[in-house]
Chain A
Amino acid sequence: MREITYRQALNEALAEEIERDPNVFLMGEEVAEYNGAYKVSQGLLDRFGPTRIIDTPISENGFAGLGIGAAMVGLRPIVEFMTFSFSFVAFDQIVNNAPNMLTMSGGQFNVPITFRGPNGPAHQLGATHSHATECLYANVPGLKICTPATPRDAKGLLKTAVRDNNPVLVLECELFYSHKGLVEPEDEELLIPLGEAETKREGSDVTIISYAQTVPMALAAAENLAEEKINAEVIDLRSIKPLDWPRVFRSVTKTHRVVIAEQDRPFCGIGAEIAYRIQREIFDELDAPIMRVSQEDVPMPYNERLEKAVLPNTEKIIAAVKKIC
């Protein structure tokens, strides 16, 4: 294992998949000559040339649709959105074309495309640039969604996404690009299956279900709670769809208490579905109501103090745990 950044991990995943399969190419705004708005594609143009690393105009609907059309006839595009907040101008392509094609064609046309880019609130970007889109896209049958929180998961999940035969959204964490973490050596193939959560910390008193930005918050909360003799188990979902229900249910069956820490908004958020499934499947295992920590249900304010009030954080997770432990 060696320590690399989340950004470097994504860069390695891109390079390895583009190298491996001539049908894979990367397309998006500023991915080539500018080396990526967040430098995720640094060096790829030099290495693979302009037929594989393709700059587009600011035209998300157009190039998302172009990618889907190319995927219908056998290419495996990786389409970068500069942020998933900009994916909304391509919403029709992502929601109506990519995931419907296989069903509408009676199984004749699958769409092996990867949409990737930063997702979720960053820092003081205001309402238009701060969307956590996972709950919106998770509502669409035919899409798969993963949310890597570590460099290792970023590399392993992105590589798997590129090889998947369906449209996959890789929702990266804008704030994590410079985070470091341990990843297998470059010569070792790293593929992490979609739909496999990871238990980041074993515990017995409460399960904190987290993903993406809330993973480090949940881990910090767990450390803090340990000092007060509350032993929290922390799960990183890693994939939102498919979701690793067996791991969730096993953990709750052990701890009997649940706090869901999600980076999206509360109404119809990811946590709403998880809470529903837990009560449906293992109602008798619950010793307390399921708690959720999410954003507040408001457009994101620019002001730093107000933004902090909107977002989930470690303190809010600790408070939620203490209400039920």
Chain B
Amino acid sequence: MPRPEQRDEVEMLAMMLLIRRFEERASQQYQAQKIGGFCHLYIGQEAVVAGAVAAARPDDYLVTAYRDHAHALARGTSADACMAELFGKATGCSRGLGGSMHFFDKENHMYGGHAIVGAHVPLAAGMAFASKYRKEDRVTLCFFGDGAINQGGFHEALNLAGLFKLPVIFICENNFFAMGTSVKRSTSLEHVVDRAEGYDIPGEIVDGMNFREVRDKLSEIIVSIRKDPHPAFVEARTYRYRGHSMSDPASYRTKEELEKFRLDDPITRLRAQLTREGKLSNEQFGEIDKRAKEEALASVRFAEKSAQPPLEDLYKYTYLNGVEVDVSARNSSPSAGTAGKQERAGDTAAP
């Protein structure tokens, strides 16, 4: 049974559907060249972020890698703001300055979208450090892929988290491939979770295709961390149906392997569980899916008609002006409003 603080399961199913329909649209728009740069889809992995978010409080810190659309959506960033970000528009969740790999939404406690593999794991340790420093009971959820676990920053962050007993959950979204390199070819351990043991951090393996299993394991860990701050490690075994990024046909995997996971689809699975328990009718599911599709399509229209970031704002966010001197204003959120005094270098005409 879900704990009282856990989010409603039908609501979470709707979120997973929105993530999927949104990314299907994103894929289509990428192919139509409306979206630039790199674009990494999360399709297949939805139960991991949905399960974690369902177990957490909305103000718990959440930080992830570059496969980040789902994490913003799960945190409550609108599909409009996400699609607009992919289109590079001013209405995007990062004002069109971050792109697919750098989604941020302070209001909804989405602390990025970080695109250097493993480099955000120390940041997560820092957020958890801040919770402990301020004696808050906020937990930090740090997502990363199996490709991150061989980076130095990952190891240093785990050591610091173990040493300082920081309230952070390291959630490895193990989809078995770091781009085209399988875990077997990249990692000296058979099981990713064993990385945690060397830092005296308790580790668990969960079925990342099973929403309830992810949620319940995370709930248990979060309760324990709120009581007594400590780090934890969760290896969520999952699968991305698409390639590493839009340009990757994923020819390093077999059709059979993909099919095996597709049959275990996280959305189908949660739907079946809810239907079996009489909590969701086929009509209701159809209605939820229809709404998700409409929201995804509407986000494309929103992104298309949104304005570009103004050229005159080019220097606006390089530095935050002002020196913090007023102690009473310390905890108020910084307003990066005033235009940068920074001079423009170079001889080419500045915009």
Name A residues whose Cβ lies closer than 8 Å to a Cβ of B.
20-21, 23, 25, 51, 56-57, 59, 61-77, 89, 92-93, 96-97, 101-110, 112, 141-142, 144, 160, 163-166, 242, 245, 280
B10 within 8 A of A: no
Asked if residues B129 and A69 are in contact (CB atoms below 8 Å), the reply is yes
Asked if residues A106 and B160 are in contact (CB atoms below 8 Å), the reply is no
A268 to B114, CA, bound (A): 30
B76 within 8 A of A: no
Q: Provide the main secondary structure of the chain B interface.
A: loop
Contacts of A166 in B (CB 8 A): 319-320
B189 within 8 A of A: no
Given A69-B124, A73-B130: A105 and B106 interface contact (C-beta under 8 Å): yes
Asked if residues B123 and A69 are in contact (CB atoms below 8 Å), the reply is yes
Q: Bits for B312-327, please: 1 = Cβ < 8 Å to A, else 0.
A: 0000111111111101
Contacts of A164 in B (CB 8 A): 323-324
Smallest CB–CB gap between B335 and chain A, Å? 8
Q: Which 5 A-B pairs have the closest CB atoms?
A: A69-B126, A65-B122, A62-B156, A106-B95, A69-B123
Asked if residues A107 and B95 are in contact (CB atoms below 8 Å), the reply is yes
Contacts of A51 in B (CB 8 A): 133
Asked if residues B324 and A165 are in contact (CB atoms below 8 Å), the reply is yes
A56 to B318, CA, bound (A): 30
Asked if residues A110 and B336 are in contact (CB atoms below 8 Å), the reply is yes
Smallest CB–CB gap between A4 and chain B, Å? 24
Q: Bits for B150-163, please: 1 = Cβ < 8 Å to A, else 0.
A: 00110011011001
Q: List 7 A-B contacts (CB under 8 A).
A: A66-B125, A72-B111, A73-B111, A74-B330, A93-B122, A142-B319, A160-B323
Smallest CB–CB gap between B153 and chain A, Å? 5
Smallest CB–CB gap between A309 and chain B, Å? 33
Residue ID in chain A nearest B325 by CB atoms: A163
B119 within 8 A of A: yes
B180 within 8 A of A: no
B219 within 8 A of A: no
Asked if residues A165 and B320 are in contact (CB atoms below 8 Å), the reply is yes
Residue ID in chain A nearest B102 by CB atoms: A104
Asked if residues A103 and B130 are in contact (CB atoms below 8 Å), the reply is no
Choose from B114, B336, B337 the contact partner of A102 (Cβ within 8 Å): B336
Q: Bits for B122-153, please: 1 = Cβ < 8 Å to A, else 0.
A: 11111111100100000000000000000011
A165 to B334, CA, bound (A): 9
Asked if residues A108 and B160 are in contact (CB atoms below 8 Å), the reply is no
Asked if residues A65 and B129 are in contact (CB atoms below 8 Å), the reply is no
B277 within 8 A of A: no
Contacts of B202 in A (CB 8 A): none
Knowing that A68-B122, A74-B130, A92-B153 touch, tell me 18 more A-B residue pairs with CB under 8 angstroms: A21-B327, A61-B122, A61-B152, A65-B123, A65-B125, A69-B128, A72-B123, A73-B111, A75-B129, A93-B122, A103-B97, A103-B317, A106-B98, A110-B334, A142-B319, A163-B324, A163-B325, A242-B343
Asked if residues A92 and B61 are in contact (CB atoms below 8 Å), the reply is no
Asked if residues A106 and B97 are in contact (CB atoms below 8 Å), the reply is yes
Smallest CB–CB gap between B105 and chain A, Å? 8
Contacts of B170 in A (CB 8 A): none
A2 to B241, CA, bound (A): 69
Asked if residues B320 and A62 are in contact (CB atoms below 8 Å), the reply is no
Asked if residues A108 and B122 are in contact (CB atoms below 8 Å), the reply is no
Smallest CB–CB gap between B120 and chain A, Å? 8
Asked if residues B322 and A165 are in contact (CB atoms below 8 Å), the reply is yes
Asked if residues B153 and A65 are in contact (CB atoms below 8 Å), the reply is yes
A101 to B114, CA, bound (A): 9
Contacts of B159 in A (CB 8 A): 57, 59, 62
Contacts of A97 in B (CB 8 A): 114, 116, 119-120, 123
Asked if residues A70 and B133 are in contact (CB atoms below 8 Å), the reply is yes
Interface residues of B in 274-328 (CB under 8 A from A): 316-325, 327
Contacts of B320 in A (CB 8 A): 102, 107, 110, 165-166
Residue ID in chain B nearest A193 by CB atoms: B323
B5 within 8 A of A: no
A87 to B325, CA, bound (A): 28
Smallest CB–CB gap between A80 and chain B, Å? 15
